[in-house]
Chain A
Amino acid sequence: MTAVSLRPRRFAISGIVGAALVGFWIIVAAFGPMLAPHDVGAVVDLDVFSSASHAFPLGTDYLGRDMLSRVLSAARYTVAIAFLATALAASVGVVLGLAAATGGWLDMLLSRVFDTVIAIPSLMFGLVVIASLGASIPVLVATLAVIYMPGAFRTARALALNVTTLDFVTVARARGERLPYIVLREILPNVRGPLLADFGLRFVFVVLLLSGLSFLGLGVQPPHADLGSLVRENISGLGFGAWAVLFPALAIASLTIGVNLVIDALPKRGRR
């Protein structure tokens, strides 16, 4: 009895922690640069790779810049680029997925194209595109969106196929409702939960891939810097355990773990 009543509570707590982490990073992305105690590019300390102190709560980086200000500013790039890319992947993927659920040659064509994209390891795909187009922020957003579009497409298509066979869709059709009404008022409310969870998962993948690319020096380019770039900049401090390497990496981890905790706390109904 206790086990049954305790379990939902624990999930709720981890969900609250996750929501707090996500909320924190949204606020940082929105207001971070305004909260920064120092100028992002300013060398403020003669000592490089210094540990946490009163003046520099997260220490300083390889040039003696304030890490707290760097992280606050970089978080905006990571969150904004990843969110834009995920939103683009999800919206295009869901529209195409719903369209493909009607079957026919469109379904065949789209499924074949997206199967090909899935067969290319995501980091490789990103590297080939960046080699030919360069690593500007629009190219990054578009590339990340294309890489994660097949997943959104497949999820939306599968969900729509499940739902369209249900009675209330048949009833709506029999009532003579038009397609937009059926898609927006009958199908969408029933697939919203799973789609939202899918969006969160994809956002996590996009953050990880973007950070990976920036870490390799092939993502966000200087003078801009996202959290992955900060890890890269300071990697020379790794050999003696500089905090400047660890903090941006932990920042990424707290963002992605936060999103995962929120997804886990969502109602499980209808999820894969």
Chain B
Amino acid sequence: MIRARLSLSPVTVLIAKRVAVAIGTLLLVSLAVFATSLLIEGDVAEAILGQSATPAALAGLRAAMHLDQPAYARYLAWLSGIVRGDAGMSLVTGAPVSALIGARLGNSLALAGLTALVSVPVALTLGITAAVRRGTAFDRVIGLVTIAIVSVPEFLVATLGVMVFAVTLHWLPALSSMRDVGSFSALLRVFALPVFSLSCVVVAQMVRMTRAAVIDVLDASYAEAARLKGVSPSRLVLRHALPNAIGPIANAVALSLSVLLGGVIVVEIIFNYPGVARLMVDAVATRDMPLVLSVAMIFCASYLVLVTTADIVAILANPRLRHR
């Protein structure tokens, strides 16, 4: 009924539903993350003041931080703060969490964005080629290399990168520092190793999933029919297979890019890169909960945005949903 009155297309309704599910999941995730932070021994006031604090001082700080309120009230206050961009104060430095994150977020996004820019075209080319040339030497080499990269820790890839390009060949600096970025070539030198390490991991994952998606489509009966009809291999792939593989491929890209979310943490630490992930690791070590929770929510939200975008692309790429 509502659909008819607003004359919404089924695609719009599907997308709206998908976005609603994502927002619902994000709320559940925020609840889970906040609930986890309640597991802390004692409470945050004790963590700040130390064990020798007087009961009066503890009570005062608890009241000031609203720790005397019930958990659900604190959750709602925290959630509305996050939505407004006010995530409270860092327990360690006393600075606003939003300012701490704001200063670093751009760096992390630059690293992740550059990696995506490099890895998506490379991975799609390799994955589709491997699928089309299934069983050839090319396909087998790709399969071996990607499974090797997927099954080793990210820091091994980064470590080997440093050993080869910085230590042995002296082409690149082992550590990156944003201060050195003056010219384009300097920028390249600083970003080369972190982006290379991250790309290796992302590309390997993406190639495997893309290959599987394209093979699924090439094995479908309509692809067989087209082949029997005498369609040229390039036309078979470009006109018959790929349009139908867009959904699964978008999914592969999104899931592989979500590998970035974990990889970026390790890479920022290895290369001493001033991003959000370093902030997170330091915050966990000092148990700076407001900062930990905020960065965790940024990562969870990024993951959901990636997955939801992939679903929306799949909906848009499916012509069966356009008319009804």
Residue contact B28 to A238, C-beta cutoff 8 Å: no
Q: Which residues of B contact A120 (CB under 8 A)?
A: 29, 32-33, 296, 300, 303
Interface centre among B281, B284, B299 (most CB of A within 10 A): B284
CB <8 Å contact, A131 and B159: no
Tell yes or no: A50 within 8 A of B by CB: no
B280 in contact (CB, < 8 A) = yes
With A121-B303, A216-B281 known as contacts, the answer to whether A116 contacts B32 (CB < 8 A) is yes
- Choose among A131, A204, A216 the residue with the greatest number of B CB atoms under 10 Å from its CB: A131
Which of A123, A130, A246 touches B261 (beta carbons < 8 Å)? A123
Does A197 belong to the interface (CB within 8 Å)? no
Complex CA distance for A128 and B37, rounded to whole angstroms: 7
Whether A119 touches B304, Cβ cut-off 8 Å, given contacts A132-B36, A218-B281, A246-B163, is yes
Among residues of A, the one whose C-beta sits closest to the C-beta of B44 is: A132
Of all chain B residues, the one with the shortest Cβ separation from A253 is B152
- Assembled-state Cα–Cα distance A236/B152 (Å): 21
A256 at the binding interface (Cβ < 8 Å): yes
Q: Report B121-160 residues with CB < 8 Å from chain A CB.
A: 147-148, 151-156, 159-160
Given A122-B262, A132-B40: A238 and B174 interface contact (C-beta under 8 Å): yes
Tell me which of B156, B166, B270, B287 contacts A252 (CB under 8 A): B156
A-contact bits for B202-240, CB 8 A (1 contact / 0 none): 000000000000000000000000000000000000000
A211, CB-defined interface residue at 8 Å: yes
The residue on B at minimum CB distance from A117 is B32
CA gap between A128 and B281 in the complex, in Å: 10
Interface string of B249-290 (1 = CB under 8 A from A): 000000000100110011001100000000011011101110
State how many angstroms separate the Cβ of A241 from the closest Cβ of chain B: 4
Q: Give the CA-CA distance A134 to B287 in the complex, in Å.
A: 9
Cα-based distance from A218 to B151 in the complex (angstroms): 21
The CA of A218 and the CA of B174, in the complex, are separated in Å by 23
Q: Give CA–CA (A131, B295) in the complex, Å.
A: 12
Contacts of B167 in A (CB 8 A): 238-241
**Which chain A residue shows the least CB distance to B27?**
A116
Contact with A along B292-312 (1 / 0, CB 8 A): 110110011001100100000
B156 interface neighbour in A115, A216, A241, A253, Cβ under 8 Å: A253
Q: Contact between B153 and A212 (Cβ–Cβ < 8 Å)?
A: yes
Judged by a CB distance under 8 angstroms, whether A228 is at the interface is yes
How many chain B residues have a CB neighbour from A under 8 Å? 53
User: Which A-chain residue is minimally distant from B143 (CB atoms)?
Assistant: A264
| Residue contact A132 to B287, C-beta cutoff 8 Å | yes
In the bound complex, do residue B156 and residue A128 qualify as a contact, i.e. CB atoms below 8 Å apart?
no
B309 to chain A, nearest CB (A): 14
Contact assessment for A215 and B155 in the assembled complex, using a CB-CB cutoff below 8 Å: yes
Interface string of A184-223 (1 = CB under 8 A from B): 0000000000000000000010001001100111100000
The verdict on A231 contacting chain B, using a C-beta distance below 8 Å, is: yes
Alpha-carbon gap, A216 to B40, bound state (A): 20
Q: Does B151 lie within 8 Å of A131, measured CB to CB?
A: no
The B contact surface, by secondary structure, is: helix
In-complex Cβ contact of A208 among B29, B153, B288 (8 A): B153
Contact among B29, B288, B292, B299 for A116, CB-based, below 8 A: B29
Chain A positions within 8 Å of B32 at CB level: 116-117, 120
- A127 at interface (Cβ–Cβ under 8 A)? yes
A117 nearest CB across to chain B (Å)? 7
Would you call B168 an interface residue if the criterion is a C-beta within 8 Å of the partner chain's C-beta atoms?
Answer: yes
Check A116–B28 contact: CB distance below 8 A: yes
Is B39 part of the binding interface, using a Cβ–Cβ cutoff of 8 Å? yes
Encoded as 1 (CB less than 8 Å from any A CB) or 0, chain B from 71 to 100 comes to 000000000000000000000000000000
Given A216-B265, A231-B155 in contact, is the A131-B174 Cβ separation under 8 Å?
A: no
CA distance A238 to B304 in the complex (A): 35
Bound-complex Cα distance A115 to B32 (A): 12
Q: Are B152 and A121 in contact (CB under 8 A)?
A: no
Q: How far is the CA of A243 from the CA of B270 in the complex (A)?
A: 16
The answer on a CB contact under 8 Å between B300 and A252 is no
A250 contacts the other chain (CB 8 A): yes
How far is A228 from B265 in the complex, measured between Cα atoms in Å?
Answer: 15
Interface string of A137-170 (1 = CB under 8 A from B): 0000000000000000000000000000000000
Chain A residues within CB distance 8 Å of chain B: 112, 115-117, 119-124, 127-134, 204, 208, 211-212, 215-218, 228, 231, 235, 238-241, 245-246, 249-250, 252-253, 256-257, 259-260, 264
Supply 18 A–B pairs (Cβ within 8 Å), ascending by A: A119-B300, A120-B33, A124-B261, A132-B39, A133-B39, A134-B41, A208-B153, A212-B154, A212-B265, A215-B266, A216-B281, A238-B167, A249-B153, A252-B156, A253-B156, A256-B152, A257-B151, A260-B151
Q: What 19 additional pairs, Cβ within 8 angstroms, besides A119-B307, A132-B289?
A: A116-B25, A119-B303, A120-B33, A120-B296, A121-B299, A128-B296, A131-B40, A131-B288, A132-B37, A132-B39, A212-B262, A228-B155, A235-B270, A238-B167, A245-B159, A249-B155, A253-B152, A253-B153, A257-B151
- List 3 tightest A-B contacts by C-beta distance, closest first: A241-B167, A253-B152, A132-B40
